[in-house]
């Protein structure tokens, strides 16, 4: 379809969808998401619960050989998603190579792009993909899209520049089948949203909290918190990992912004090599700054700024910019994983808006 026939309609296909953070951003930008695919049963259950109108498929992407959907005339399509990124992360040095099979899942993403030939492609991944195997995987993605006929734009964006209360750098590739180069999105906030502004109205919780739905503790402390709340008076997912007493004793020694280095050595004797802990382990968040990356926040043991416990699922979701009406399903461990693996919706929205603005021109 030539660029001159572009209109405001767009249908989306979310590959490696997870719980649906990227879809939330796409929908907010006006994309009608028709299909979501992921192999994680628990993530797709959450996706379906929040998007009952979407065809959600729980399967190995390698098994998809046909997607039969009728696209009305004049409606553009976009394939988007982020293939598993753990193998590209700088925190996983042993898996950052061509030998990790998960690092090749992007090839199925590209296979489906060639099968559907959408008008647009949005590919997301960690910043580390630009360095893994000397940039081999990034070059493979760009070369494949270019040889298929796409014009490729790519950027590394910090989620904190787009209203997400978190320092999270991500690579985005936006590809146009119609020769469009897309300008890098401009920041949407003049100053970062802080942890306190993001979660300061949420309930005070105990270690191991198990009651999912609770009312807000006080009025929203910021425009961001108001945006996340909408018209709600209570929200869900106030679940906290039940840490044992020895872990809680470690937490008590850590100031805002501190980490494992602040814990007395006699309390860390079970660590064979204490010096190999990375800076995000036992990290207590600073209330007046954006959060560090919300990845596997249970494994890293991210600590609430003022309470002696780990983050709740809802607090982490707020720091990822999931609105409070979005409910995570499954056990607490699966909920934590879904939040940590997600693309922040507000960051995704900014990327899709860059396409929308171009298409309006």
Indicate which residues carry an active-site annotation: 85
Tokens standing for residue 215: 């009312």
Structure tokens at 44: 């797709």
DSSP 358: H
What is the per-residue burial (b if ≥16 Cβ within 10 Å, else e) of 181-192? ebeebeeeeeeb
As a whole number of angstroms, the distance between CA 184 and CA 239 comes to 37
d(CA 121, CA 177): 8
Contacts with 270 (C-beta within 8 Å, 6 or more apart), sequence order: none
CB 313 within 8 A of CB 336: yes
Q: Which of 11, 20, 76, 15 is nearest to 48 (CA)?
A: 20
Alpha helices in the chain (DSSP H): 21-28, 41-50, 106-116, 136-147, 195-199, 223-229, 245-251, 297-300, 313-320, 332-341, 345-360
Contacts of 185 (CB under 8 A, 6+ apart): 155, 157, 162, 350, 351, 353, 354
């Amino acid at each position: 379809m030539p660029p001159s026939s572009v209109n405001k309609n767009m249908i989306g296909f979310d590959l490696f969808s997870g719980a649906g953070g990227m879809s939330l951003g796409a929908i907010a930008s006006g994309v009608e998401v028709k299909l979501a695919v992921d192999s994680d049963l628990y993530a797709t259950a959450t996706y379906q619960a929040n998007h009952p109108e979407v065809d959600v498929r729980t399967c190995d992407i390698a098994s998809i050989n046909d997607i039969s959907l009728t696209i009305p005339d004049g409606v553009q399509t976009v394939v988007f998603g982020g293939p598993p990124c753990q193998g590209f992360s700088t925190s996983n040095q042993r898996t950052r190579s061509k030998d990790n099979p998960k690092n090749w899942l992007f090839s199925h993403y590209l296979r489906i792009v060639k099968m559907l030939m959408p008008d647009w492609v949005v590919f997301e991944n960690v910043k580390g993909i630009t360095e893994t195997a000397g940039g081999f995987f990034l070059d493979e993605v760009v070369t494949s899209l270019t040889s298929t006929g796409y014009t490729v734009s790519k950027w590394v964006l910090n989620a904190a520049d787009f209203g997400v209360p978190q320092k999270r750098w991500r690579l985005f590739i936006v590809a146009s089948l119609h020769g469009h180069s897309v300008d890098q999105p401009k920041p949407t906030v003049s100053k970062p949203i802080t942890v306190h502004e993001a979660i300061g109205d949420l309930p005070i919780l105990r270690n191991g909290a198990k009651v999912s739905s609770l009312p807000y503790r006080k009025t929203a402390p910021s425009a961001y918190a108001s945006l996340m709340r909408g018209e709600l008076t209570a929200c869900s997912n106030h679940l906290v990992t039940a840490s044992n007493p020895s872990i809680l004793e470690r937490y008590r020694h850590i100031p805002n912004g501190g980490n494992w280095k602040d814990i007395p050595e006699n309390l860390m004797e079970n660590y064979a090599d204490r010096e190999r802990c990375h800076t995000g382990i036992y990290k207590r968040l600073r209330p007046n700054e954006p959060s560090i990356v919300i990845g596997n926040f249970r494994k890293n043991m991210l600590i609430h700024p003022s309470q002696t416990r780990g983050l709740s699922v809802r607090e982490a979701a707020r720091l990822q910019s999931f609105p409070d009406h979005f409910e995570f399903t499954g056990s607490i461990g699966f909920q934590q994983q879904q939040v940590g693996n997600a693309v922040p919706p507000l960051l995704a929205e900014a990327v899709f808006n860059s396409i929308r603005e171009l298409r309006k021109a």
